[in-house]
Amino acid sequence: MNILDQDIKFLPGVGPNRKKMLSNELGIETYGDLLEYYPYKYVDRSKVYTIHELTGDMPYVQVVGHILSFETFAMGPRKERVVAHFTDGTAICDLTWFNGGKYAKQTYRIGTRYVVFGKPTVFNNRINFTHPDLDDASKVDLSSMGLQPYYNTTEKMKKTGLNSRAVERLTKTLVEKLPPLPETLPDFIIASRHLMGRDEAFRTVHYPQNAKDLERARVRLKFEELFYVQLNILRYASDHRRKYRGYVFSHVGEVFNTFYRDHLPFPLTGAQKRVIREIRVDVGSGRQMNRLLQGDVGSGKTLVALMSMLIAIDNGYQACIMAPTEILAEQHLQTIMQFLDGMDLRVALLTGIVKGKRREEVLEGLLDGTIHILVGTHAVIEDTVQFARLGFVVVDEQHRFGVAQRAKLWSKSENPPHVLVMTATPIPRTLAMTLYGDLDVSVIDELPPGRKPVRTTHVFDSRMTTLYDGIRQQIHEGRQVYIVFPLIEESEKSDLKNLEDGFEVLRQAFPEFRLSKVHGRMKPKDKEDEMQRFVSGETQILVATTVIEVGVNVPNASVMVILDAQRFGLSQLHQLRGRVGRGADQSFCVLVTPLKLSEETRKRIDIMCDTNDGFRIAEADLKLRGPGDLEGTQQSGMAFDLKIADIARDGQLVQMARDEAQKIIDDDPDCQSPKYAILWYRLRQLRKTNINWAAIS
């Protein structure tokens, strides 16, 4: 058995109770898990200070000296504070224990030389260390102390004595006990990328002598983690391309050309033309297309998707577009029917509310091939829905569908249909390379002509009267306004303005205007009615929660007010802002917050006011929040399990790892060459324990 698979309870110092705590709190079950539980920070233990040099605002430091005496102070029933007076000959300081004082008095001896390590503060005009670490100076080689690792632990662990220092001792025991670890990367990668060996990297990352060694160890471990993720993705994509033949759309015919000539509502942008060409090459190549189409709200993705579906129809196939909500599906249906008005094509809707005879007609039309384009929600993937010849599938806002749901679409066809995945949530390149590594990526990076960028401003909630005046002026000019609340009803733990109370406040503030109200707990019919009142212009203000984040298209709406904007993530703020600016008029987005904001929130608000570029916003969001929090990474079944690498901050390493992995797949697509045996063996080991990162499309 591999020693790293050994049960953690057999490590000296652990045992059954600590094993249970490590397992429940940190997920540490084996020697390997503990080895991969990396320190979150390091403190330099090579320098020794004198007590005379210390001030209360210094970070963790160490001094060497001896205890002069102990003093005990009562702190209520059965509680005491124990203070040791300590000197190094330059001055006297205090070592204080609020818990464990009895243990300190029994363990530490007056007159013995100790190395004291802790955070200095000032109490009663004297330097004080609370709950410091003490080591017998005769047993410590200060010249070899290097950087001391610190490990995250939970409150529960600390109560049982399993603090950072205890975890460090266990790690030290493990590192000393381990035989040299076998290498998992071939020599040629280690040499060409100047990487540290695996065994040395593991030992150094826990006990580095200096910052340079630590950095080299971290680069090696991060590279390996990212390399195997990329190798798995690229191996999967390569297998998939060879295994699945795609339908060949050999020509662009009358349907496409008629639409392009007579029905195109406005000239295509250069970016739209480029993406259609990329799709055209894919669908004519004989391999199944899996393409991710990224583009900001309003960039014209739906038109590109429709024109791609028309190529499928020209070649005798049906097409389908799947949206995450009924509102968005109906929006797509209306848009597509407007585009195709006057053309002899049958477009149908299939959502949960399409029932009875109407549903029967849709199912029959799909089966006999008379329906050319189906627009629907996840109702499309139900077993009862069968197509005559499904050749092209568009999945919109795909992060809202699980992997298994998307895979079900494949069973609707003899060969897997071509798949175009669309998202208005811009995905940073490093994240796309990992999360959607098996998809080819197209980007629409320009807005249609005539669109003006939305002007974004930040307003404190003490200035609401001025804001109301601005809203009034816009409505008098014939525009409409969204006002978004973060909550539906009051939460005990929250001081958020809730929508119900807020709606009443707004009705009183704007007695001369009509208001609609939409939130997630309304019945679909009521929600739809309220939305329609706003779309038709019957109401001037739509008060809503984030249900309007996706898919509401009202070109006349020119103002988006987001209350308690500090409660939203960057991507969500960007999505909400995308609801305005859809007409030719100048549009505005107003972010309303309280005066007191955290540093991180202030950064988010500033980024929103500075740029309309979705990719810059997504990059910033990734850096601020980390990949696991980004909308999409959790829902897609691809929760990140990286132990040391960070997709946001290690972009260069992601690219380097992908380049190396691509070379190997190109050289050995069957994964059989003895030259790479070490890699295929390691990948099989990892695949047994980890999620299959690549099963995405």
C-alpha distances in Å from residue 444, one per residue of 59, 266, 303, 393, 432: 49, 16, 12, 19, 15
> Which pair of tokens denotes residue 72?
């005990």
Query: ∠ CA 40-43-46 to the nearest 5 degrees?
Result: 150
> Which pair of tokens denotes residue 53?
């040099």
Does the pLDDT value for residue 109 go beyond 70? yes
Does the pLDDT value for residue 578 go beyond 90? no
Mean pLDDT (the chain) is 86
The string of pLDDT tens digits covering residues 387-416 is 999 999 999 865 555 556 656 776 777 788
Start-to-end Cα distance in the chain = 36
The string of pLDDT tens digits covering residues 614-656 is 878 877 877 776 655 444 443 333 334 688 987 767 878 988 9
Q: How many residues does the chain have?
A: 697
Q: How far apart are CA 647 and CA 205, in angstroms?
A: 19
Q: At 481, which amino acid appears?
A: V
577: closest CA among 600, 594, 601, 560? 560
Does the pLDDT value for residue 439 go beyond 60? yes
pLDDT at 549: 53
Least confident piece of the model among 76-80, 277-281, 418-422? 76-80
pLDDT at 449: 73
Comparison of pLDDT for 159 and 552, the residue scoring more: 159
The string of pLDDT tens digits covering residues 543-555 is 988 766 555 678 8
Comparison of pLDDT for 455 and 448, the residue scoring more: 455
612: closest CA among 582, 574, 584? 574
Under DSSP, the state recorded for 34 is: H
Contact 158, 82 (CB under 8 A): no
CA 597 to chain centre: 23
Does the pLDDT value for residue 136 go beyond 60? yes
pLDDT > 70: percent of the chain: 90
